[in-house]
Amino acid sequence: MAQALPNDGVMRAADGTPLKVALARAGRAERLKAVALVLPLFAFIIFSFVVPIFIMLYNSVYDPDVAENMPRTVLALKTWDGKDLPPEEVFAAFVADMKTAQQNKQTALIGKRLNYEMSGIRSKVVATGRKIGSIEAAPYRDQVIAIDKVWGQPETWATIKRSSSDYTPFYILSMLDLRQTPDGSIEAVPADRAIYRSILARTLGISLLVTLLTLVLGYPVAYLLATSPQRTASILMIFVLLPFWTSLLVRTTAWMVLMTDGGVFAGLLHFTGITWFLNLTGVLNGEPQLFKTRFATVVAMTHIQLPFTLLPIYSVMKTISPTYMRAAKSLGGTPFYSFLRVYMPQTLPGVAAGCLLTFILCLGYYITPAIVGGPTDQMISGFIERAINSENNWGKASALGVILLTATLILYYVYNKLVGIDRMKLG
Amino acid sequence: MAVPAYYTRGETVIYYAVRVFVALVLLFLIAPILAVMPLSFNSESFFTYPMPGLSLKWYDDFFFNPRWSGSVKMSFLVAIATTILATALGTLAALGLARANFPAKATVMAILISPMIVPVIISAVGMFKFYASLDLVGTRLGIILAHTALATPFVVITVTATLASFDRTLMRAGASCGAAPHTVFFKVVMPLILPGMISGALFAFVTSFDEVVVVLFLASPEDRTLPLQMFSGIREMISPTITAAATVLVLISTAMLVALELLRRRSERLRGVAPG
């Protein structure tokens, strides 16, 4: 027998619980189930992707080499005013620290870290470490300075003091060609040592140029694809999708093969008379050098990115009814005017989406400039790779990573507002 | 394609100019890929036409030199493992995300998609350092885990897109007919979202199969994938075998493209969008 339900006007489920409570319970169960489904991937991404990246980015400000290996010196420098040479206690602490560091074979590490801020000091630190054992009793100051004059300069001690914290803004600042002066203010580095801003500018410049080229080349193609009859459009689409689906490495390889000295591209330029023409006008002297140039980099990147710009424009154009153009023309607009004032404004969302996507992807290019570009065509990613594989400088790699990632995330935020990231077209 | 009769002379000129321009752009897109393929049959080891003679020796090198054939095996192994892992994890997550009032949906989605957004060099360097502390650098497991992270966003996106047009009352209908949840999934949901799952799986496969930068950091020198073997080959010593490798890869991606296109047509036909 079902028990009698109280007649209080509350809607109830079959088992007598008020409907509101039953619904909330069902909703909670449903939500738990949803979370349980997402959890495996979420945990996996956090563990295998998000945590590694955060650890890496942390390296751009975390730098304990000096603090760990010169603890007594760092402590003694705390009270130093930074104006004159540090007092005798600092030198005493320095001698003690260097002796320990020499025993633990850490002097090279200290030297390497200090060398980032004071070039040429690395060998002096290592040499001092080797000789430090001969100092046995006070006074320390003159004996230390006798080993190397560099210890007699207040600037050296200011550098040690500055790098004594576990955290340093040094890497990020220097990747923007800025540095901290001994008194803590921030200034631009001298022009002859400012190299990183030009790398950033180069990365932005190449990305912008490639984006513009893909737009100029892609827009008419998208237009024709969107307005042609279905059958023609499907055939034309193959020309766009086949390169799109071919791996980036294969396409870069293709350009490398075509652009090698005396390769197919040079032959084509020769055959069409372009080489002759360029020689005639004095732009060129002899055969063109294509491989390992900016030209090759931009051409290959444009080729690879063209479908990324073109496809979003195409999908927007597909939604524009041809009646608008007919209406504009029948109202007396010239073809050009109608296109400019009626058709083109409607394609702008697609243009923005395609260009933004291409620009973002260009910022992170590594493979293509590495293969077809010369040393002066490498972009940020290339310098990150080099900082790790050739220089073993994690602070530098991480700081460049912070800059690249920040730029990318800001642009993706804009992209997301504009298009919606989960609606990104995949082929 | 004839010009409509009512076009003015100016319009006719533009009409043909646009078509010529587009033809040149399409040529620019396809020509580099096509131009490389015949060079893989060159009997001499240089990269230009006319070729003095034909030969299959670069294919012989590609298929029978253990450096190349080993890398092909390695690539398939890694890509297949990645595809299975990514498709399973990604499909489950997409199913969860598609449920009503999922908590903090936008944030969770952003985190799940982040591997697709972060420049790959940053992912590679971060994983290199972290995986080194777990002794995963130089192992196949490390590469598979890294590739799975990079590939899942594509599965999540494609399956989510398929689920958007999925009628959820079908699941209730299945349940009310007495089917257990897993039966509902395998008998009702999966057949309907299969095109999305397969195209997600294809994307995952291609992502792993084509990936160079992460393996550049994570792979051991003896155990290279095909793209890494090509990349190192280009940097160390250019051998025409890379043109043979490129040709094979183009054929594989063409097969992928055809498979995806067939899937798209099938799902459109099922939804009654496209004519037969």
Does B119 contact A408 at a Cβ distance shorter than 8 Å? yes
| Interface contacts A/B by beta carbons within 8 Å | 256
The answer to whether A226 contacts chain B (CB < 8 Å) is: no
Q: Is the ipTM of this complex over 0.90?
A: no
A106-142 burial, b at 16+ Cβ within 10 Å, e below that, comes to bbebbbbbbbbbbeebbebbeebbeebeebeeeebbe
- Note the pLDDT tens digit of each residue in A300-327: 999 999 999 999 899 889 888 889 988 9
Please indicate whether, in this complex, the C-beta atoms of B30 and A218 are within 8 angstroms of each other: no
Please state, as a whole number, how many other Cβ atoms lie within 10 Å of the Cβ of residue A80: 18
Task: Give residue limits of the domains in chain A.
Answer: 11-58, 65-163, 196-423
Pick the CATH number of A196-423 from 3.10.310.40, 2.60.120.260, 1.10.3720.10, 3.30.1330.90: 1.10.3720.10
- Put simply, whether B121 touches A (Cβ < 8 Å) is yes
Judge whether A424 is closer than 8 Å to chain B, CB to CB: yes
Would the CB atoms of B96 and A37 count as touching at under 8 Å? yes
Cross-chain CB nearest to B115 (options A45, A240, A245) = A45
Q: H-helix or E-strand containing A186?
A: strand A186-188
Over the range A173-203, which residues count as b (16 or more CB within 10 Å of their CB) and which as e? bbbbbbbbeeeeeeeebeeeeeebeebbebb
* Interatomic CA distance for residues B127 and A51, integer angstroms: 9
In percent, how much of chain A has pLDDT > 90? 26
pLDDT attached to residue A422: 52
Of A52, A224, A401, the CB nearest to B127: A52
Q: What is the CB neighbour count within 10 angstroms for residue A283? A: 9
Q: Quote the pLDDT of residue A294.
A: 92
* Record: contact B129-A251, CB cut-off 8 A: no
Q: How confident is the model at residue A247 (pLDDT cuts 50, 70, 90)?
A: confident
CB proximity under 8 Å: A 85-124 to B = none
Q: Which two tokens stand for residue B197?
A: 């799952």
User: Mean per-residue pLDDT for A354-372?
Assistant: 92
Instruction: Measure in Å the smallest separation between the Cα of A184 and chain B Cα atoms.
Output: 30
Interface of A with B in 229-268 (CB under 8 A): 232, 236, 239-243, 245-251, 253-258, 260, 262-264, 267
Determine contact, residues A167/A149, Cβ cutoff 8 Å.
no
How much is the pLDDT for B2?
Answer: 66
How many CB atoms are located within 10 Å of the residue A360 CB?
22
Q: Determine the average pLDDT of the residues in B167-183.
A: 88
Could you give the residue ranges of the DSSP H alpha helices within B134-240?
140-164, 169-176, 181-184, 190-210, 213-218, 226-236
Which has more confidence, B28 or A68? B28
Question: What pLDDT is stored for residue A425 in this prediction?
Answer: 47
The per-residue pLDDT for B271 is: 64
Q: Would the CB atoms of A267 and B48 count as touching at under 8 Å?
A: yes
The string of pLDDT tens digits covering residues A147-205 is 888 888 888 888 888 888 888 888 888 888 888 776 667 888 887 777 888 899 999 99
Residue ranges of domains in chain B, CATH in brackets: 65-271 (1.10.3720.10)
Task: Pick the closest to residue A311 from A251, A354, A248 (CA basis).
Answer: A354
Q: What's the pLDDT at B185? A: 86
Mean pLDDT computed over every residue of chain B: 87
* Chain mean pLDDT for chain A: 85
pLDDT higher than 90, residue A210: yes
d(CA B261, CA A233): 14
Mean pLDDT of B150-166: 88
Q: Indicate yes or no: CB of B234 within 8 angstroms of CB of A241.
A: no
pLDDT classification of A81: cutoffs 50, 70, 90:
confident
pLDDT reported for residue A182: 64
- Kindly report, residue by residue over A90-117, the tens digit of the pLDDT: 888 888 888 888 888 888 888 888 887 7
Q: How far is it, in rounded angstroms, from Cα B208 to Cα A76?
A: 54
Option in B14, B33, B97 nearest A246 (CB): B33
Does residue B260 sit at the A interface (CB-CB below 8 Å)? yes
Q: How far is A133 from chain B (nearest CA, A)?
A: 35
- A2-6, A385-389, B28-32, B222-226: the lowest-pLDDT one: A2-6
